[in-house]
Amino acid sequence: MLRPLSNLFTPDDYPNLLVGLGAPDDAAIWQLDQDRALVVTTDFFTPVVDDPYDYGAIAAANSLSDVYAMGGIPALALNIAALPPQLPTEVLSEILRGGAETARQAGVVIAGGHTVQDKEPKYGLVVIGFVDPRHMMTKAGVHPGDQLILTKPLGGGVTTTALKKQLASQTDVSEAIHWMKRLNDSAGALARQAQLRAATDITGYSLLGHAWEMAAASQVGLRFFYDAIPFLSGARRYAEAWCFPGGAADNRLYFEHHVRFADAMDEASRMLLFDPQTSGGLLLAVPPVSLPGLLEHAQAINQPVWVIGEAFQGDSIEVV
C-alpha cells in the first residue's frame, strides 16, 4: 500500500528529520537546534472497554506513550475523534473528558482538534513533545549485554477480548483498566535519568513484535525469560479459553519466523507473547552497569519494573 510513496520523501532532503523516514520507530523527531527537537506522534482506536471515560483516558495515555518512548516530554495535543451522532451527548463528552484529564495529568494541554461523524467511536490524540536530540531513545540503540526491562504487565488484549465475550471478571477488567490508564511518564523519567539509548512501547504488535523491531533496528538478538515476564491476573485463564483478539494471530503470522521458543512452551504461553496491548509499558534496554542504579531509582519513584531478558550477539528472538 505504501510502496507508491516510497520515493516521495528521502532522508537526505530532510536533514533535520532525525527519526521518521528510516527504520520504523514510535514517533518522528525534528531537530530545532542543538538542544531541542520536536517529538511528534498520533494514535487513535475504537473502544477497548465499556466505560466512555475510561476509553478516553486509555486512548490518551496510549497516544502520549510514544513521546515517552523516544525519551521526550509531551507538551501539546490535539484531539482526533470520530463520533456516532446517535450516541448520547453525555457519552461523547465523557470520552473527551477522559482524554482531557489524562492529558492534564501528564502536564499536556489539548488545544482543539478535529471530529467527524462515523458509525463507530474512534478517539486519540496528535501529541507534540520535546527531547534533547543528544539523549533521544530509539529502537536502534540496543547493544549485546543490555538487560531488557518492562514497565507494565502483559495480557490486556486477552482480558479486553474476554470482556467483549462476557467471560471476564470485573476484578480482572478493573486491573487491566488500571494499567492501561497509567501514564508512562515515570517510566520515561526513569529512562531519561539513566540516560538510556533504546526503548519502545509495547502496543498493538505485542511484546515479540515490538521486540523484533528493536532487534532488527539494532542488529542484535533478544532473549526473554518467560517466567520473569509479568502478566495480568486473568491473562493465563483467558489465554487457555482462547480469548485472543484477531491481532494476536496476525502478529504471530508476521513475526513468528523470527522467534525460537523453548520446546516445553505450550500454545497459550506462546500466544500471550503475541497478544496486542493497548497503552502498554515501555521496553527498555539497560546497560548492565546502569541496572542497579535504575532499579534503585524505580523503587524510589514507585515505578514498577521487571527484568525480563537480555540482548546478545545474534539476529533472532529467543524465549526460554
Contact status, residue 159 vs residue 232, Cβ threshold 8 Å: yes
pLDDT at 5 over 90: no
Within 10 A of 94 (CB to CB), how many other CB atoms are there? 18
Mean predicted confidence (pLDDT) in 265-292: 98
End-to-end CA distance of the chain: 36
| Torsional class of 38: left (φ above 0), alpha (ψ -120 to 50), beta (otherwise) | beta
Second CATH level (architecture) for the domain 3-131: 2-Layer Sandwich (3.30)
pTM over 0.75: yes
pLDDT at 7: 84
Q: Mind listing the pLDDT tens digit for each residue in 157-186?
A: 999 999 999 999 999 999 999 999 999 999
pLDDT at 2 over 90: no
Q: How far apart are CA 83 and CA 87, in angstroms?
A: 8
The full set of domain ranges for the chain reads: 3-131, 147-319
* CATH superfamily placement of domain 147-319: PurM-like C-terminal domain (3.90.650.10)
